[in-house]
Chain A
């Protein structure tokens, strides 16, 4: 009996000693299996070179326009030709004040953002964008603003068809252990500060939204201000971009050529008369400038001071673009428009201060911002657009200065977890900035006049929100957003009966509702 007990005890001991080994064998097997699975996963991630993320937005717009009485250009009287210039006399017809509204317009925007790290110092970022007008057509209907001439500066801001456009694609080289970095490609030049507050997004672009809001190709050299003892996030960027590539000159390889311009014949409605116009060799249009930005840590909260200056060189009258209803003949058909002349240079300076502070113990946030910008024209004497849109800012012999400001507040609404915001901007007679890629329906920041906007953002969960808002535009002058005008802009004050190739609203009300999902 005793021996049997001893045997049992010995067996038990052996079992306890053996047990861990068997368990260990199990664990080893598990680890091996995990290893295999991890290898597989690693292989897969290694092959997934690009990471994709992005957002999807559906937007509803209601718009109401009011147009003051004006004189509509009907065409040209070829029986009444000026013997000196050889130009037929323009014929105008008075138009009464009227209102027009578009009670429903829907659009969807899908943005796929891409990111690839090629190593410690090189990375690629890109953004593909489909911006579709529901039931939309291939080419946008011209509404008088430059952001409805579909060009490569705004191809993703203007809702059109279901094509995917490359909005951004740039390689950044950030040499290790130096304060310098370089970016080459289609740059992040749309939706810059302080536009992100209204959109309830993180920052979307580099230059201030009051100065440059357009898809621009070029190169950029950056410098981290941390290297000279300034705040770590501070950066100065030098930028160089192309606004128009003229090739050998638009006339091909010859210095001087003629193109047919089509003039509506006022005596024969529906008919056009082709007149050959001289087109001289075009120059490339370039933009050079700098953007600087830094937080001011001493002021607390989240803040950013950004400012910049740009010179647009040899600006052309119109970019290459597509449009319907452009004030020209046969305007129901999509037509291509293109640059006809270099008009001169334009300077642009601006600054923006934005600051988010917490209020009270509960940590509710209040954001305010103020932005100011000014432009100055340097026209080439005697140059004007062959489309009949005149010289730079309507005056080819004088340098003109324009100004604009843009202010806003946004605050948390504690009971709902939402945000309420108000914005106001005002531009004067000669105000112009490079905003053709702004995705407001009417490019509000380029307004020569004032715009008030109120909006409410209701987050449903992180990355998913609804927004409703209202913009009220009050235009003082016509040709807002354009750097060209058929005559001095003071002649286009909308309270006077202006002579115009197309109607300009003096007020616009735009009510919108947006659903936005970030992924």
Chain B
């Protein structure tokens, strides 16, 4: 009985890993990819369109670091730019914000800020946006 359950679970695990391996895309970063869609897409279309564009992966931890370092000076609680935190915008709003690439008015985010930093900051802000799961503690 136990053996059968274990092997069933093992099978589930293998199937899951296979699914994910075929999907082969980052599921944590800024672009959540539905693995099942990815499989179907991979089966029919071969390589995905931006397969050969080298893209660095946004890092939540680096993003948190750079956000504190590059943005908090003006966007702290009493900053000149007004307080900005991940929960200032929703996931979609952050996505639009970075797609436009404008900081304020006509000033572009790049090259005022380093392009690589922006990728990490974007990942951090989206991961913790207002409509993402928020930590729960007393108070």
Contacts and interface: CB of A to CB of B under 8 A. Distances in A.
Contact of A358 (B19, B20, B62): B62
Given A103-B5, A362-B57, A460-B35, A302 B139 contact: no
Contacts of B27: 417, 459-462
Nearest to A469: B9
21 contacts: A53-B131, A188-B136, A189-B138, A204-B135, A205-B137, A237-B139, A239-B138, A356-B61, A358-B61, A365-B61, A415-B21, A417-B25, A458-B19, A458-B20, A460-B34, A461-B27, A461-B34, A461-B35, A462-B32, A463-B133, A468-B9
Interface stretch (A128-136, A179-187, A276-284): A179-187
Nearest to A64: B2
A15 to B, nearest CB: 33
Contact of A222 (B5, B62, B133, B138): B138
**Shortest beta-carbon contacts, A-B, top 6:** A462-B32, A203-B135, A363-B59, A416-B20, A183-B139, A458-B16
Contact of B137 (A174, A203, A363): A203
Nearest to B134: A202
Given A62-B5, A64-B2, A202 B133 contact: yes
A363 B32 contact: no
Contacts of B35: 460-461
B88 to A, nearest CB: 14
A237 B9 contact: no
A101 interface: yes
Contact of B13 (A237, A358, A460, A468): A468
B135 A513 contact: no
B12 interface: yes
Contact of A182 (B57, B134, B139): B139
Contacts of B12: 466, 468, 513
A463 B6 CA distance: 26
A62 B9 CA distance: 10
A401 to B, nearest CB: 28
Contacts of B59: 358, 363
B64 interface: yes
Contacts of A363: 57, 59, 61-62
Nearest to A171: B139
A249 interface: no
A301 interface: yes
Interface of B: 1-2, 5-6, 9, 12-13, 16-17, 19-21, 23-28, 32-36, 57, 59, 61-62, 64, 131, 133-139
Contact of B20 (A168, A205, A418): A418
Given A301-B61, A417-B20, A511 B6 contact: yes
A239 B137 CA distance: 13
Contacts of A460: 19-20, 27, 34-36
A125 interface: yes
Given A204-B136, A417-B26, A460-B27, A103 B1 contact: yes
Given A189-B138, A237-B139, A417-B28, 16 more contacts: A62-B5, A170-B138, A172-B139, A188-B137, A206-B137, A358-B59, A363-B57, A363-B61, A415-B17, A415-B24, A417-B20, A460-B19, A460-B20, A461-B33, A466-B16, A511-B9
A301 B34 CA distance: 28
Contacts of A518: 133
Interface string A355-366: 011100011010
A181 B21 CA distance: 47
Contacts of B2: 62, 64, 101, 509
A103 B25 CA distance: 35
Name, among A181, A187, A358, A416, the residue most crowded by chain B CB atoms within 10 Å (CB to CB): A416
Contacts of B25: 417
A456 interface: yes
A444 interface: no
B13 to A, nearest CB: 6
